[in-house]
Amino acid sequence: MAGEWRALIRTMQAENLTWGAPRIHGELIKLGFKLSEASVSKYMKKCRKPPSQSWRAFLVNHADSIAAVDFFTVPTVTFRVLYVFIVIEHARRRIVHFNLTAHPTEQWAAQQFTEAFPFDSAPRYLIRDNDAIYGELFLRRVKSLGIKDCPIAPRSPWQTPYAERVIGSIRRECLDHVIVLNERHARRLLKEYVGYYHSARNHLSLNKDPPTSRAIEPPDAGNIIAFPVLGGLHHRCTRIAA
């Protein structure tokens, strides 16, 4: 009997992360077990982590309501540095807006963010780093859209993993393989890659579906044809009826 309630204590604790000894003790009483709260506390697994949800849990639980912003740089063949601003929705890893400039300012960043969420499409939370460009003007714009600002800890890029992952994909799958001539060329490359990223590139976190869900094409739908993307750097395969 004792072994049964000891195992049950651990199970309840694992399945209900916010429950303490009093709550578990109460449940055991209702299940017919006669033991003290002190006994429950004794056999509970000691956790170093606080009972509140972790940052990772927050990102997962609120994915449908979170967007993230970030900058990354693109050097050109003439050693000019372009700054790319991206806005990504966590739910479907969708890049809702991007733009680039050689001279980013706080006002420019605020305007880009406004363009990313027209009408009533704004998320509930915004994840960003502590770059000085996200100043008072930018934060006022965020607040005016009804969005709660959630800056990450200093020097902690792991706290904005989706934006960092998207930037890494853009570099590894596009920019690392081409020589960018100028701003116009960079804009064309990014626009083409973002189109491919949304409609064709599968994501492990989305059960190998693109951000814009892609229907499964059965074998009887026709022959497989590969369409080149970014000059043949990638290919999108689809079935075409004969």
Q: Is residue 49 scored above 60 in pLDDT?
A: no
Q: Is residue 241 scored above 60 in pLDDT?
A: yes
Which pLDDT does position 48 carry in this prediction?
57
H or E segment to which residue 173 belongs: helix 161-173
Which pLDDT does position 130 carry in this prediction?
95
Tell me the pLDDT tens digit for each residue of 109-124: 999 999 999 878 899 9
Cβ contacts of 77 within 8 Å, gap of 6 or more: 179, 180, 181, 182
Q: Is 178 helix (H, G, I), strand (E, B) or coil?
A: coil
Task: Please give the Cα distance from 166 to 201 (Å, whole number).
Answer: 12
Q: How much is the average pLDDT of 29-44?
A: 84
Report which listed range, 13-27, 34-48, 129-143, is most confident: 129-143
Which pLDDT does position 163 carry in this prediction?
95
State the pairing for strand pair 234-240/81-89. unpaired
| Phi, psi dihedral angles at 238 (to 5 degrees) | -150, 170
Q: Which region among 65-79, 171-185, 198-212 has the lowest average model confidence (pLDDT)?
A: 198-212
User: CATH says 57-206 is which class?
Assistant: alpha beta
In the chain the first and final C-alpha atoms are separated, in Å, by 69
Task: Please give the Cα distance from 100 to 87 (Å, whole number).
Answer: 12
| Phi, psi dihedral angles at 134 (to 5 degrees) | -85, 70
Query: 95-124 as b/e, with b when 16 or more CB fall inside 10 Å?
Result: bbbbbbeeebebebbbebbbebbeeeebbe
pTM, two decimal places: 0.76
High-pLDDT (> 70) share of the chain, %: 95
Report which listed range, 29-38, 103-112, 156-165, 223-232, is most confident: 103-112
Cβ contacts of 213 within 8 Å, gap of 6 or more: none
Average pLDDT, the chain: 89
